[in-house]
Chains A and B, each alone.
Chain A
């Protein structure tokens, strides 16, 4: 690492034109993050024609800023109105929305922004020192390793619904079922497509997320919740978090950053898995376990730190190997090639200036974003004072627009409505939503990797012993399933002990 490149990169990043694009990207990213359905992939794709006339380095700065900016913005609607716009902001609803209900919306948003900042900065350091070795390590993930990674992610999420495990499994299998819709890659067979061409590429999980959360939440509040205003609009709390909240948050933020970064580097796992795993890790090791789901600040900052660092991490395989790890980086890769940048192993050697400018701009961008997001807290909390008859139609309109931009098809409107009704019933009957969503997201890849592994390994049991990675992941899977049981046994044992002492 040559210091002159670092300084040159800083200088280029600080050029007024690049700073301008960075700020534009940060603002656009925050906006597409807040709006349901308009994720960073769409945001970047829409801007592609604009990048034609730009300097390549400015284009890269702009696209990256939209990407990590969307992760900052993503938690806003999760915290305020319980409607995540994308997979990676689902975990922010678990404790973010309860904090709003407790009158801490302002604090929730400002500390979530701080968590995103710290997660992002940790990942940028990871990028600087570990980009190449990590990209090489990620190559060890073959079909068997991915299969067990997805097993582990699913088990950790199902285990979150302790006391409600059966329902957790039911919704997980529903999600896996939906993920089989579309052309099967390995055989080319159309499955459950009902001769509708739009279904051949499968059902977009983002449409389902918007349907179940946004539409489902609106329906629930209109039909089922007798008191639609369960949030006291006058009580929005302070804008700035308390010292006590900060003290509780710092360790979870620091623990979750690396989790997110590492999972971000693995192609195909990305923001959703990393934020959910960060949440479940934090919940399992926390002393305040009982508070999780009721507004524990740890449960908000952990996923936010993780998904922010996952975004930076997923740039690594895209830039070093030309292997996109997420929908957004896939769009970025196409756009970069178009403007004449060829990502790949030669990029770091041939264009170190470009790479270092990006790294420096990410530092500056993260700081700009935290300022934007904390400045917006005052405006955003006004959403809570908006009467439902104004707010809900707006949410519905945005949901439909968001769904349309994902597939450019009106068929998604029907899926959106059906998912909304399913979401309503899941709320009424107390079925956990997250296992369904995660199963839907990873289901397709999990199956394809299983099928590939079945070709590669003669005996299914060989998959388990394919590498140290699969063994570790299998043990973690076992642990997260049995964890609730172990806890119960330990409790019973200690209770028995108490009894004996009493007697």
Chain B
């Protein structure tokens, strides 16, 4: 009986663990299938990003090898990213600001420095919304009330404390002179759950991505008070930015892609070419349209620079939010 279990588990382990970590020469790269790691279960945002990249890269055709997607969920990306670092340059993993914040929040030992940046791909902008009956006309008015009484409103965020949704609100609060540690944040596991609570009047305010808010905004169920983009969004010209309201902040919620540590120069160059071609495809544009995302492409060099800036940026907000370990 136990033998049977042991045998079956080991058979599965062999199937799971077949990987290859040989180096490559500039001429022959890629010499095997390209694998894109989604550090999450099928169906979520990271999975969708990985599959969209696969689809657009296939449409572009710069890579003459198969492109596959593998799901490695767990630990807020940690499992998939650890797995990436056991591989070579044929592998790449999807990431987001969680890569930077996870370490700052002491939830992960990994930082962006443990990987090779390949590209920034897309961003969504975050916004602050209230129920239409709440009667706030803009973000300043909301912050004025919170300055008077930080406990007077409950603020729903997802999917965790320290997420982009949470920290964007913290930054707006700090810039408005509100003490973020006094605020009442309620954490929900998804943007859908938050909408449920906001429409039902169980929370007062939410900080969430535009794509999670746009449907209910269009039918007039919720008001959007401010968006974190540098300029007004093309598709929502009526929503003012924080900048316009005198709050100095731009807060992208980005997604990018990275390779394992210490990739050779020629492999990074190959990825730079593939990805810069990929973001030009119609398939990629359709993906951005369907998910209300904006193009945020940066090459590998620019991405490395951007990671450094984000590291400092998040370190400061996390400290202000009182979340530093």
Report which A residues bind B (CB closer than 8 A).
41-42, 44-46, 48-49, 52, 138-143, 183, 185-188, 190, 197-198, 200-201, 219, 222, 267-268, 317, 321-324, 330-331, 333-335, 337-340, 342-346, 393, 396-397, 400-401, 404, 407-410, 413, 417, 448, 452, 455-456
Q: Identify which of B2-10, B223-231, B297-305 touches chain A.
A: B2-10
Which range contains the number of B residues in contact with the other chain?
A: 35 or more
A-B contact pairs, 19 of them (CB 8 A): A48-B51, A183-B107, A183-B160, A185-B187, A198-B75, A200-B107, A321-B192, A321-B199, A330-B43, A337-B48, A337-B290, A343-B215, A401-B12, A408-B71, A408-B73, A410-B13, A413-B9, A417-B5, A448-B187
- Given A52-B55, A188-B160, A323-B196 in contact, is the A345-B73 Cβ separation under 8 Å? no
Once A45-B42, A139-B199, A346-B215 are accepted as A-B contacts, the answer to whether A409 and B192 lie under 8 Å apart by CB is: no
Interface bits B70-81 vs A (CB < 8 Å: 1, else 0) = 011111101100
Q: Which residues of B contact A42 (CB under 8 A)?
A: 42
Q: Which residues of A contact B290 (CB under 8 A)?
A: 337-340, 342
- Do residues A142 and B202 form an inter-chain contact, with CB atoms below 8 A? yes
Is A188 in contact with B107, judged by CB distance below 8 angstroms? yes
Provide the residues of chain B in CB contact with A219, threshold 8 Å. 1
| Cβ contacts under 8 Å, B196 to chain A | 138-139, 141, 267, 317, 321, 323
Using A48-B43, A185-B160, A188-B161 as known contacts, list a sample of 4 further A-B pairs with CB atoms less than 8 Å apart, ordered by residue number in A: A185-B189, A324-B192, A335-B43, A407-B73
| Contact B218–A346 (Cβ < 8 Å) | yes
- Nearest B residue to A47 by beta-carbon distance? B42
B158-174 CB mask vs A (1 if < 8 Å, else 0) is: 01111000000000000
Asked whether B107 lies within 8 Å of A190 as measured between CB atoms, the reply is yes
B 39-51 to A, binary, CB cutoff 8 A, 1 in contact else 0: 0011111011001
Partner of A188, one of B52, B74, B79, B162: B162
- Map CB proximity to A onto B185-228 as digits: 1 under 8 Å, 0 otherwise: 01111101101110111100000000010011011010000000
User: Is residue B285 contacting chain A, with contact meaning CB distance below 8 A?
Assistant: no
Q: Is the Cβ of B186 less than 8 Å from the Cβ of A331?
A: no
B224 CB → nearest A CB, Å = 15
Produce 1/0 per residue, B283-295, CB < 8 A to A: 0001100110000
State A333–B74 Cα separation when bound (angstroms). Answer: 21
> Do B74 and A409 have beta carbons less than 8 Å apart?
yes
Whether A140 contacts B74 by the Cβ 8 Å rule is no
Whether B16 is near chain A, meaning CB under 8 Å from some CB there, is yes
Q: Is B65 an interface residue (CB 8 A)?
A: no
Known: A338-B290, A346-B218. A186 touches B74 (CB 8 A): no
| Nearest CB of B to A473, in Å | 16
B82 proximal to A (CB < 8 A): yes
B5 to chain A, nearest CB (A): 7
Q: Are A334 and B202 in contact (CB under 8 A)?
A: no
Nearest B-chain residue to A410, judged by Cβ: B13
B105 at the interface (CB under 8 A from A): yes
- Cα(A136)–Cα(B72), bound, Å: 37
Q: Which B residues touch A186, using CB under 8 A?
A: 161, 186-187
Closest 6 CB pairs of A and B: A197-B75, A344-B215, A142-B202, A45-B42, A331-B43, A139-B200
Residues of B within 8 A of A330 (CB): 43, 190, 192
Residues of chain B lying within 8 A (CB to CB) of residue A185: 159-160, 187-189
Q: With the chains together, A174 CA to B167 CA distance in Å? A: 36
Contacts of B197 in A (CB 8 A): 142-143
Q: B48 is contacted by which of A201, A334, A409, A456 (Cβ under 8 Å)?
A: A334
Bound CA–CA A331/B52 (angstroms):
15
Interface residue B96 (Cβ < 8 Å from any Cβ of A): no
Report if B277 contacts A (CB, 8 A): no
CA distance A340 to B288 in the complex (A): 11
- B12 adjacent to A410 (CB under 8 Å): yes
| Complex Cα gap A186–B200 (Å) | 20
Contact A409 B42 (CB under 8 A): no
A456 touches B202 (CB 8 A): yes
* CB-defined contacts of A344 to chain B, threshold 8 Å: 215-216, 219
In angstroms, Cα B197 to Cα A317, docked, is 13
Give bound CA distance, A232 to B42, whole Å.
Answer: 42
In the complex the two chains form, is B200's CB within 8 Å of A141's CB? Answer: yes
**Given A48-B42, A333-B192, A344-B216: A409 touches B200 (CB 8 Å cut-off):** no
CB pair A267–B162 under 8 Å, yes or no, is no
| A46 to chain B: closest residue by CB | B42
B184 within 8 A of A: yes
Return the contact of B192 from the options A142, A323, A331, A455 (Cβ within 8 A): A323
- Which chain B residue lies CB-closest to A198? B74
Q: Assuming A331-B42, A396-B4, is B12 touching A404 (CB within 8 A)?
A: yes
Complex Cα–Cα for A49 and B45 (A):
15
Q: How far is the CB of A314 from chain B (nearest CB, A)?
A: 12
Closest chain-B Cβ to A59's Cβ sits at a distance in Å of 13
Nearest Cβ in chain B — how far from A418, in angstroms?
A: 12
A201 and B195 within 8 A (CB): no
A142 to B76 alpha-carbon distance, docked (Å): 27
Q: In the complex the two chains form, what is the Cα distance from A350 to B42 in whole Å?
A: 28
Q: Is B276 an interface residue (CB 8 A)?
A: no
Residues in A with CB closer than 8 Å to B188 are 185
A267/B193 contact (C-beta < 8 A), A139-B199, A396-B5, A407-B73 known: yes
In this assembly, does B103 line the interface, its C-beta being within 8 Å of a C-beta of chain A?
A: no
Q: Are B55 and A197 in contact (CB under 8 A)?
A: no
